Amino acid sequence: MQKLAIITTHPIQYYAPVFKLLNQRQNIGIKVFYTWGEAAQQKFDPGFGKSISWDIPLLEGYPYEWVKNVAPDPGSHHAKGIDNPGLIEQVNAWQPDAVLVYGWFYKSHLKALRNFKSKIPVIFRGDSTLLDNTGDIKAILRAIYLSWIYRNVDHALYTGTNNKAYFKKFGLKEAQLTFAPHAVDNDRFAVTRLEEAEVLRKQLGIGPDEKLVLFAGKLENKKAPALLLQAFTELNIPGTHLLFTGSGILEIELKNQASLYKNIHFMEFQNQQYMPVIYQACDLYCLPSKGPGETWGLAINEAMACGKAILISDKVGAGTDLVKEGENGSIFKAGDLTALKSELKTLLQTEKSTLFTMGQRSKAIIADWSFTQQVQAIEQLTNKCRKTAKR
């Protein structure tokens, strides 16, 4: 059995189920090396403005090791925040046939890429896109640097169309790329929670014939919740509501701006087990991100798994693959208030039954973007790998 060492910073709700499924299937052997160190279990998330403790198990069902992190300011928010002098020795002790590295930005991850290149196959996973590319001198210099980075990668697992274009831009060839879709636990989000959703709507004062727009995520500038709030209030369409679910730096400002509107609601950060209820309570999910750095937007996967129509900006990486114009939602130009108002008005003035039909189309589209597909891609690629040189 081929052995794959997985290097990533900390347990994440979107990755831990993948590791668990890989281990359960036993088509390859895996071990995860968490480079943030044990302190990651009390991770402070600057986007939410609080420490997050997920209510789904992130460290069960697969083998892992903590790697000692000696960074003075540990964390994934800057390159020097992941510094593991013992990482390579720890990985070598397990004697893997290949290594999968999540992200190159961190000091130790880049060092691992460079060390294992030409010793064992190096697989890379990231979800960057070219959507924020400005074409200025900084972008040109960055392109040179990224081309150098990816020369240390034998194969990349791409998350979708925009991510694939990014890898090709910086030197990886078609034969070096394998599709491993960005995914969430579709089955968990698809379980019917309609009774709870109806209770939530009643608590918020939303009638059965009224429409609810949902924003779920960090209340930060990158995701542009203020633009959505402005568009919604300026449209002022009767029988519609807007719900912001999440926490972040813009929370107080948004609440102040919405204080006079009884049809605008706020819920603080909600954990994973309750999120399907919130998605199922809405009629339309909106992610108006302006970037930079909205590489995918996994909340879109979650909303689609719950059978919802989608409205997003063109800076959201998932849009090219998941949002089919007029079928399950719409895409507007990021930062363009007029464009957002136009699309939002069209969707909110349509019949609820039409939004429901669009949501069912979302559910059909997202069915193929699953953990199983991602796991199969990792297995197939790992089993093709052979040691290319002695350690």
Q: Give residue-wise pLDDT tens across range 189-220.
A: 999 999 999 999 999 999 999 999 999 999 99
Closest by alpha carbon to 318, among 151, 152, 162, 133? 162
Q: For residue 139, what pLDDT is reported?
A: 83
Strand partners, 122: 99
- Crossing angle of helices 337-348 and 225-235, in 10° steps, is 60
pTM reported for the whole predicted model: 0.93
Q: For residue 77, what pLDDT is reported?
A: 87
Sequence-ordered list of residues with C-beta below 8 angstroms from that of 289, at least 6 positions apart, any chain: 222, 223, 224, 297, 312, 313, 315, 316, 334
Q: Give residue-wise pLDDT tens across range 21-70.
A: 999 999 999 999 999 998 887 665 555 555 667 778 899 999 999 999 99
CA distance from start to end of the chain: 18
Examine residue 292 and say whether the peptide bond preceding it is cis (omega within 30 degrees of 0): yes
Q: Quick one: average pLDDT of 252-256?
A: 97
Q: Quick one: average pLDDT of 307-334?
A: 97
List of domains in the chain: 3-183+370-384 (3.40.50.2000), 186-366 (3.40.50.2000)
Rg (alpha carbons) of the chain, rounded to whole number: 22
Q: For residue 389, what pLDDT is reported?
A: 40
Better-scored residue on pLDDT, 391 or 252: 252
Q: Quick one: average pLDDT of 316-324?
A: 97
Q: Give residue-wise pLDDT tens across range 361-376.
A: 999 999 999 999 999 9
Query: Residues 146, 370, 246, CA angle at the centre, nearest 5°?
Result: 75
State CA 69 to chain mean position distance: 25
